[in-house]
Structure 1
Amino acid sequence: MDIAQHQTKDETYSAAPGYFRRLTIADWLFAAALLGGALFALNRYGTYMDVYEKVILVLSAPTFAALGWHWKPVRWLMPLVALLALGAIALYDGNLEAANQRFWLRYMLSSQSAILWMSVCFFLATLFYLIGLASRSGAGGSIGSRLCWAAVVLGWTGMMVRWYESYLIGPDVGHIPISNLYEVFILFALITAMFYLYYEQRYGTRQLGPFVMLVISAAVGFLLWYTVSRDAAEIQPLVPALQSWWMKIHVPANFIGYGTFALAAMVATAYLLKSHGYLVDRLPSLELLDDVMYKAISAGFAFFTIATILGALWAAEAWGGYWSWDPKETWALIVWLNYAAWLHMRLMSGLRGRAAAWWALVGLLVTTFAFLGVNMFLSGLHSYGAL
């Protein structure tokens, strides 16, 4: 199916009247389960939340319901992760030492074990995607896709269990696991993988798996090095600036941006290879590659804009000012301006082809420095994320 047909299908679907009449009983049951879970959590843990956290919890139900209606795999992904995470929590029985004493926790479902298995699955997925591309084998790509899904399930399970483990250390230590480089590298890998899997299913772009999985494997490789060399997997109390409900929305929005920008750069790599005569018969059409690159950057830019605004509001609460030209803030602005210019040139001047692809690829270098380089080489108010 060519890109024009995809666009026609999308436009017809979005413009069709009676959207809610298209929903099935399974869709409504999924939404009801999410709402029930949110209300249960609110009733049981509401006394420990401030008003903002309660609003986030309640709004999460319709948000994830809409996501599940739009992308069906979410409807089995969320219950499966919940089942595995709750099973692990039951095995702990309130004792953190159980992670080293009970078989299923020690070798599969403790946060460190699940994240290690996630890493293995991502590496194997990269290998099978490469085999599929090199051999023109549909089986290789299919196995790679399944391994990527397995990595996503295990990664989210590890994150949920890590959240619980932080509270076993102490109620004053407990926090959502997106507060340091170890945790956000996991978040980056998971978000990038999920966006890729969405495009893979929607546009039939399994041939892009080797490209996207390379950047995910690089992130996982750094994560493993960082874990071994810095003992980064150890859960630490939050620094005062991070003890805020803002973190729960600012950081995920930020990393949706980072993940989709990385995805766009790897699609751009595939575009450049094909446009120069490499892998011509193995990659999707240039038109489809260009469209996926554009959609990834558009989605990333929207979330990165939201994250930047939220970051300014958080800074005003934490440090007394919306903007302080801190190195992290400055480089976030550079990233934003880079992709704002890319989108402006595309919409106003028709930016396409190799120029757009090279720009998206260079954008990954800018984004990587904002994500990691600032922590390595610069210091400022965000120095709590230093290597």
Structure 2
Amino acid sequence: MELSQAQTYSQAPGYFRRLGPLDWLFGAMLLGGAVFALNRYGAFMDYYEKAILLLAAPTFAALGWHWKPVRWLMPVVALLALWAVSLYGGDLDMANKKFFLKYMLSSQSAILWMSTMFVFSTVFYWIGLAGRSNFGSAVGSKLCWAAVVLGFTGMMVRWYESYLIGADVGHIPVSNLYEVFILFSMITAMFYLYYEQRYATRQLGPFVMLVITAAVGFLMWYTMSRDAADIQPLLPALQSWWMKIHVPANFIGYGTFSLAAMVGSAYLLKSHGYLQNRLPSLEVLDDVMYKAISVGFAFFTVATILGALWAAEAWGGYWSWDPKETWALIVWLNYAAWLHMRLMSGLRGRVAAWWALIGLVVTSFAFLGVNMFLSGLHSYGKL
């Protein structure tokens, strides 16, 4: 089936000829929303924000055209977030007074539900793998999608809640460990779900969901022990539009590197004779690992360049050998070497898988260990 579709696409005279009415409707809705926002709120935006708004419509339209689930994911998240906004009515105290806000749609409630869905998703994926049950894996996949919907809803609502606290407090929710752990979980899950559909297999879910569940576990501990869910004003150095693009690009790298590591662990198990008939072929595992690292490396490179530009603006220099910068460079060099060996020397097999798995240790230290054990200019998320 996939082969026949590919042949049909290759014979089509143009990309746009492959788009159906729902694709065009999705694109039109995004464009209409961008134009409405520009007309209504343009006076409060600078040129950067207007450019981002206008570029978002074709970018997300292309994403939805390439990966069809985005066409329903974005409207559902938008409707749930707008419902929450309407329930608030401009009063943050409604979070404890309105039933649906208190138990489902406030940012903290939605994130708790997201965390729960991810944990149950992991359980069902493992049930599906252990019992060779398509039902268990299918439930795991649906729970993962539910977690993604609730997670993005929670982030959108948290963004709005920050402005209810005060116009000078409001900011995009990617500024501290609590928020970026949510972002990490969402990005990793989204990339996994894409590969799940692309390769028509749910057998990688048990492995990838483990790293997401670990992130959720840390998130819950951090929330309870540090009151981390409270929205705090941004530190002066973070009050920059660079944060809105540097941090998400960085965590696309972290998320895909983590995904590649977990796929690498599945590769090692199968290559040593374990779960032979329950995992995809070694060729598929190797291809997913390679593509995940390639995507992550591209975004991590962009994030590093953006971080240097931000540093020049905030601290007067592009590079200061701050611990976070140093470890970001180590991560970059690690995956640059992996890709170089792959392309130049044909790196494959167990060596590539072990390298990807060890890369998770390096990435984890750069992501979290620096905040725990080292100090420096990037000390915004200390434990």
TM-score, normalised to structure 1, is 0.97
Counterpart CA distance in 2 for 1:186 and 1:11 is 39
The structure 1 segments of at least 4 consecutive aligned residues displaced by more than 6 Å after TM superposition are 8-12
Whether the 8 Å contact between 2:12 and 2:18 is mirrored in structure 1 is no
Q: Which amino acid aligns with 1:128?
A: F
User: One-letter code of the match for 2:46?
Assistant: D
Structure 2: distance between partners of 1:48 and 1:202: 41
**Deviation at residue 16 of structure 1 after TM alignment:** 5.5
Task: Give the total of aligned pairs.
Answer: 383
The Cα shift of 1:334 comes to: 0.6
Deviation of 1:205 after TM superposition, in Å, equals 2.3
1: CA distance between counterparts of 2:8 and 2:275?
33
**Residue 54 of structure 2: which of 54, 58, 78 is its match?**
58
| Unmatched 5+ stretches in structure 2 | none
Counterparts of 1:1-387 in structure 2, within 5 Å, are: 13=9, 17-387=13-383
Task: Give the Å deviation of 1:21.
Answer: 1.1
Where 2:92 maps in the other structure, the secondary structure is coil
Q: What's the offset of the Cα at 1:47?
A: 2.1
Once the two structures are superposed, what CA deviation does each residue of 1:34-71 show, in whole Å capped at 9, x if it has no partner? 11111111222222222111111111111100000000
Partners of 2:56 and 2:49 in 1: CA distance: 11
What is the alpha-carbon distance in structure 1 between the residues aligned to residue 238 and residue 10 of structure 2? 39
SS class of match (1:385): coil
Letter paired with 1:166: S
Sequence identity percentage:
82
Query: Amino acid of the residue matched to residue 254 of structure 2?
Result: Y
Q: Deviations over 1:311-363 (max 9, x none)?
A: 11111111111111111111111101000000000000000000000000000
Unaligned runs of 5+ in 1: none
Deviation (angstroms), 1:9: 6.9
Q: Write the distance in 2 (CA, Å) between the matches of 1:13 and 1:304.
A: 31
Root-mean-square deviation over aligned CA pairs: 1.5
Q: 1 CA distance for matches of 2:70 and 2:58?
A: 13
